[in-house]
Amino acid sequence: MQLEQIVTNLREEGFRITPQRIAIVDYVLSTEEHPSAEQIHNVIKKKYPMVSLSTVYKTLDLLRQKQLVKQIEIGGEARFDGHTDEHINLICMKCGKIEDVDEDLKEIQVRAARKSKYQIVKSSFELFGYCSACKTHS
Domains along the chain? 3-81 (1.10.10.10), 88-136 (3.30.1490.190)
| Separation of CA 99 from chain center | 11
φ, ψ (nearest 5 deg) of residue 117: 70, 15
11 pLDDT above the threshold of 80: yes
Tell me how many degrees the CA angle 51-55-58 measures, rounded to the nearest 5. 165
β-pair type (77-81, 88-92): unpaired
- For residue 19, what are the contacts with CB-CB under 8 A and spacing of at least 6? 48
Amino acid at 78: A
SS3 14: coil
**Which residue, 1, 13, 60, is CA-closest to 35?**
60
> Is there a contact between 74 and 126 (Cβ–Cβ < 8 Å)?
no
The pLDDT value recorded for residue 116 is 95
Tell me the pLDDT tens digit for each residue of 88-130.
999 999 999 999 998 878 888 889 999 999 998 878 889 999 9
pTM listed for this prediction:
0.83
pLDDT attached to residue 25: 95
At 22-59, the pLDDT tens digits run: 999 999 999 999 999 999 999 999 999 999 999 999 99
How many CB atoms are closer than 10 A to CB 53? 14
pLDDT of residue 104: 79
Alpha carbon 123 to chain centroid, angstroms: 14
In the prediction, which pLDDT does 137 show?
A: 73
Question: What's the pLDDT score for residue 1?
Answer: 67
Strands (E), 82-134: 88-92, 98-101, 125-129
